[in-house]
Copies of this chain bind each other. A is one copy, B any other.
Amino acid sequence: MAIGIGLLGLGTVGTGTAEILLTPQGRHPLLGEVILKKAGVRSLDKPRKVDLPEGCLTTDLKAIVADPEVDIVVELLGGIEPCRTLILEAIANGKHIVTANKAVIAKHGEEIFKAANQAGVYVLLEAAVGGGIPIIKPLKQSLGVNRISRVIGIINGTTNYILTQMAQHGADFADVLKEAQDLGYAEADPTADVDGGDAADKIAILASLAFGGRIRREDVYCEGIRTVSAADISFAAKLGFVIKLLAIAERPDIEEEALQLRVHPTLVPEEHPLASVNGVFNAILVEGSPLGEVMLYGPGAGAGATASAVVSDIVHVVGLLHSDTTVRNQSEKTLNPLLGCSHEHYSPILSIDTLKTRFYARFLSQDLPGVIGDLGTRFGNHQVSLESVVQIGLQDDCAEIVVVTHDVYEANFREALNEIKGLEAIKDVPSILRVL
């Protein structure tokens, strides 16, 4: 069986994908049946790192998604348009889709999967989350037999690199961001990474797979890492924590359908398996019953890792086409339900106010007797019980006080905080972080 591939985009991941497709020796035998037919690019003149077959390169992306020799369209352009339109056209033409594009799936997943189900084609997206880590297929195929209670991910390599550098060198956010940009680990416009949007796209996808309902991307509560300071990282370390940008999807009551979805910097206990995931590595922890906890760890970005995930999806479709003559005839009902998307409804999402979690907060106050007692009383008035209140130093004549709470409701904590901010002795609350 010969399966034709049409590649949209030949950037770093596209080039990595082409390199694997063009060197099948020593890899999975099914790759021998895959033929790179077309690679769509913006400029034919740009020098390329990979030797493509003659006639492969084209600037006509619309022709690729209509090409009768192309069985699988691999979309590696990124961003919303023209990706959404090209994917929908390819689906209408009966092509299977492999994509690494979390943004288009998180935003237009419903439309895309509906079209794919109607056309009887697969849309696979292993590379959209966790780079080379196999997470999409294990969630769909293996872990889903459990009652999943929680998925926690370090799924943005840029922010994890920045936080790791800040922790290891006591450096400030702005300096490390600059360095990461110079090294190519962060984009010139780092917004999507450092403000948590990329992680939110990805946790929306993981939540949808883990809990079996559609997710509205805007329902994901999202805080980035711009406010995390070197001081907090250092205080957290003294308390036995590291700070990580976590993306969390949780079903707080396993009997109910409602989910908590959130992305925010988080204090992670040093002995927790996620605490030692450093640099551009990613990890995803899945908790379910009766399974317990499983963690999948690996390179979260990079041409090779992401291309590995892209090609695993290609081979997956090829395997299915082998055993499944009906799919090739585009009959709707024959999609493998383990790989198609069958969600019919949106998962209800809980407000962040209902979150029950521990908090870490740092206060700057006048250095007066009674302040700590006053803090404790105000928190207590709002049912916020404290694990510790420690004056950790002095800064510009202000006492620096760190509070760690027990598990409390976010709404109660916020109310207490509002009251405390009104106290004359309290000069500033430079940071509020949640604790895993």
* A interface, CB within 8 angstroms of B: 16, 19-20, 26-31, 126, 132-134, 137-138, 141-147, 212, 254, 273, 276, 288-299, 302-305, 307-309, 311-312, 314-316, 319-320, 322-327, 334-339, 342
Contact = CB atoms under 8 A, between A and B. Distances in A.
Given A137-B137, A145-B312, A320-B336, A295 B298 contact: yes
Contacts of A126: 142
A137 B141 contact: yes
A147 B254 CA distance: 41
Given A145-B312, A288-B308, A292-B305, A29 B324 contact: no
Nearest to A303: B290
B309 A142 contact: yes
A292 B132 contact: yes
A331 to B, nearest CB: 10
A297 B316 contact: no
B338 A334 contact: no
A133 B134 CA distance: 12
Given A293-B298, A294-B132, A29 B212 contact: yes
Of A29, A294, A302, A322, most buried by chain B (CB within 10 Å of CB) is A294
Give how many copies assemble into the complex.
Answer: 2
A289 B309 contact: no
A337 B323 CA distance: 8
Nearest to A289: B304
A31 to B, nearest CB: 6
Contact of A134 (B28, B138, B302): B138
A334 B339 contact: no
Given A307-B290, A323-B335, A137 B132 contact: no
Contacts of A296: 134, 294-297
Given A312-B141, A316-B338, A323-B324, A291 B304 contact: yes
Given A291-B305, A320-B336, 19 more contacts: A27-B144, A27-B147, A28-B144, A28-B212, A30-B337, A132-B291, A137-B137, A141-B312, A141-B315, A143-B312, A276-B276, A290-B303, A290-B305, A290-B307, A291-B298, A292-B305, A316-B338, A319-B338, A319-B339
A132 B287 CA distance: 11
A378 to B, nearest CB: 40
Contact of A27 (B146, B294, B316, B338): B146
Contacts of A273: 276, 297
A145 B323 contact: no
B143 A308 contact: yes
B326 A325 contact: yes
15 contacts: A20-B145, A27-B145, A27-B146, A133-B294, A137-B138, A146-B308, A273-B276, A290-B304, A291-B299, A291-B304, A292-B305, A295-B298, A323-B323, A323-B334, A323-B335
- Give the interface centre of A31, A315, A342 by most chain B CB atoms within 10 Å: A315
A134 B299 CA distance: 18
A137 to B, nearest CB: 6
A290 B308 contact: yes
